[in-house]
Amino acid sequence: MTENNELIRLSAAALAEKLAAREITAVEVVQAHLDRIAAVDGDVHAFLHVDSEGALAQAARVDAGELTGPLAGVPLALKDVLCQEGVPTTAGSRILEGWRPPYDATVTARLKAAGVVILGKTNMDEFAMGSSTEHSAYGPTHNPWDLTRIPGGSGGGSAAAVAAYQAPLAIGTDTGGSIRQPAAVTGTVGVKPTYGGVSRYGLVAFSSSLDQAGPCARTVLDAALLHEAIGGHDPRDSTSIDKPVPPVVEAARRQDVKGLRVAVVKELSGEGYEAGVQERFDEAVELLQELGATVTEVSCPHFRFALPAYYLIAPSEASSNLARFDSVRYGLRVGDDGVNSLEEVMSATRAQGFGAEVKRRIILGTYALSSGYYDAYYGQAQKVRTLITRDFQAAFEQADVLVSPAAPTVAFPLGAKLDDPLAMYRQDLATIPSNLYGGPAMSLPAGLSEGLPVGLQVMAPTMRDDLLYQVGGALEAALLDRWGGPLLASAPELARA
């Protein structure tokens, strides 16, 4: 194994330790990851834009001592839905092709201030609408475990970059599972923080009451370190929670679940879940019991309505948010020949700039908000959301955390569900309830089914993100001991790369 290969396989925590001890330089680390991207991204297509010059300049500042912090000098891949000043930001859409924001998102600014090195922007389903990263206007991302399969979505680019050792860390966003479902099918760790725990300022909005940025990593501790770096109150985000970030790093290092009450959600397992996924989940739950947790089962009866409620609320908010892409202020402009009216230019721009899935959801949302249908659709969906929140609250009276499979299947072949939107939507069966509630949730590797990763989901009460990391850290340590090393070491495509 070459020196570069050794560097790219280190965890973010290990890299940070070596960088702080001056055993390696940030420029070395960044160059090793840029070389890896050049070597494998032609096959994986995790990145839409690689900022080599900017990354090396940031690394040089770290080496000069200008930037310090727990993750200073560690490379990161940024989902292309977060603004980065002067760097192309497309949200996976043609309608924003070539747009360079004049400002940084709060998440981006905090990463820069912490000395984290942003390697580039990752591929995603257009405007974060999808479960496979096949709805990107710039072509699909491929799963590093099997290049013929999907990496999940909408944040498949971020998850694939981490799984393919192109970056030790990445940022994703999660509206209905877009961090956790890609983590599940790529054998990585993905966390949706408590809604409002990480600023949404500078995040290109899909569904404002659901969107949440969060960490993608290869270990629970790495995710915790990144969570701590990006979390906290932001006065520029009206939904930001004015409370300290929960002690996630301390919790990840605790690796102890003795006496913790863990509940399996009855409605999020069994029917609709592949046999291999269910088996790995059941084994992981048994392991939690062996580690000293008390395991019970709870029923959350309204969770079965989460999917239809989500697909009324999210498209309705998308219909409103995406109205800003009007060909006037920024982005694509089609049909402006001096003859067509503004309405005709706007129509032509949206027809050419938006993809089929985005158009489908805008139409759905516009219908749900239209006169005479608002109460029957959007209003009713919000009532269901309240019932789901009450289910969570009742469950957390009986348990400290809830668990379920993170996705109902392993990664499916590219193209397998493109012609069946409902089948695609069902990939988020297990993840959507936490978004509707607003609580934190994590996916971490639970083993393999048919040679492909399975994810286990941990859900916690709002602002108890630390519980995710406590459970995740303990389970990860036990599983690594059982497997004899990281799950990613057994990925066949990665072994050949």
- The count of C-alpha atoms lying within 13 angstroms of the C-alpha of 462, restricted to the half-sphere facing its C-beta, is 16
- How many distinct structural domains can be found in the chain? 1
Contact 430, 408 (CB under 8 A): yes
Per the domain annotation, does 466 fall within a domain? yes
Cis peptide before 347 (omega within 30 of 0): no
For 344-376, what is each residue's pLDDT tens digit?
A: 888 898 999 999 999 999 999 999 999 888 989
pLDDT value at 5 more than 90: no
Contact 180, 442 (CB under 8 A): yes
Q: At what angle do helices 220-230 and 106-113 cross, to 10 degrees?
A: 110
Catalytic residue positions? 79, 154, 178
Containing domain of residue 129, as a range?
A: 3-257+438-496
Quick one: pLDDT band at residue 337, thresholds 50, 70, 90? confident
Q: Are strands 169-173 and 213-217 parallel, antiparallel or unpaired?
A: antiparallel
pLDDT value at 443 more than 60: yes
> Which of 183-192, 461-470, 479-488 is predicted least confidently?
479-488
- Find the mean pLDDT for residues 112-129: 98
Mean pLDDT of all residues belonging to the chain: 95
Per the domain annotation, does 223 fall within a domain? yes
Contact 183, 407 (CB under 8 A): no
Torsion of CA 247, 249, 255, 259, to 10 degrees: 10
**Which burial class, exposed, middle or buried, applies to 274 when counting CB atoms under 10 A from its CB (0-12, 13-18, 19+)?**
middle
pLDDT value at 311 more than 60: yes
| Angle formed at CA 169 by CA 160 and CA 219, multiple of 5 degrees | 90
**Which burial class, exposed, middle or buried, applies to 356 when counting CB atoms under 10 A from its CB (0-12, 13-18, 19+)?**
exposed
User: Is 453 in a helix, a strand, or coil?
Assistant: strand
Per the domain annotation, does 69 fall within a domain? yes
Q: Rounded CA gap, 485 and 487, in Å?
A: 6
Per the domain annotation, does 243 fall within a domain? yes
pLDDT of residue 327: 85
Domain harbouring 211, CATH code: 3.90.1300.10
For 243-280, what is each residue's pLDDT tens digit?
A: 999 999 999 999 999 999 999 999 998 888 999 999 99
- Find the mean pLDDT for residues 47-54: 98
Which of the pair, 266 or 492, is modelled with greater confidence? 266
Whole-number Cα distances in Å, 3 to 6, 9, 16, 61, 161: 5, 10, 17, 23, 20
Quick one: pLDDT band at residue 1, thresholds 50, 70, 90? very low
Q: Rounded CA gap, 195 and 458, in Å?
A: 16
Q: What are phi and psi of 324, to 5 degrees?
A: -70, -20
pLDDT of residue 391: 98
Per the domain annotation, does 447 fall within a domain? yes
For 369-406, what is each residue's pLDDT tens digit?
A: 998 889 899 999 999 999 999 999 999 999 999 999 99
Torsion of CA 267, 272, 277, 280, to 10 degrees: 30
pTM above 0.95? yes
Contact 132, 42 (CB under 8 A): no
pLDDT value at 436 more than 50: yes
Quick one: pLDDT band at residue 2, thresholds 50, 70, 90? very low
- Find the mean pLDDT for residues 458-471: 98
pLDDT of residue 342: 85
Of the candidates 160, 196, 154, the residue with the CA atom closest to the CA atom of residue 178: 154
Q: Rounded CA gap, 26 and 218, in Å?
A: 20
- Find the mean pLDDT for residues 13-40: 98
Residue 300: CB atoms within 10 A of its CB come to 23
In the sheet with 169-173, reading across from the earlier edge strand, the strands are 47-50, 117-122, 75-79, 169-173, 213-217, 189-192, 441-449, 452-459, 401-405, 261-265, 294-298
> Which of 34-38, 142-146, 481-485 is predicted least confidently?
481-485
pLDDT of residue 118: 98
Quick one: pLDDT band at residue 497, thresholds 50, 70, 90? low
Q: Rounded CA gap, 441 and 238, in Å?
A: 22
Quick one: pLDDT band at residue 282, thresholds 50, 70, 90? very high
Per the domain annotation, does 330 fall within a domain? no
Per the domain annotation, does 151 fall within a domain? yes
Q: Rounded CA gap, 39 and 124, in Å?
A: 21
Structure tokens at 447: 């083993």
Per the domain annotation, does 310 fall within a domain? no
User: Is 143 in a helix, a strand, or coil?
Assistant: strand
Contact 212, 195 (CB under 8 A): yes
The partner residues of 120 in beta bridges, in order of sequence, read 50, 77
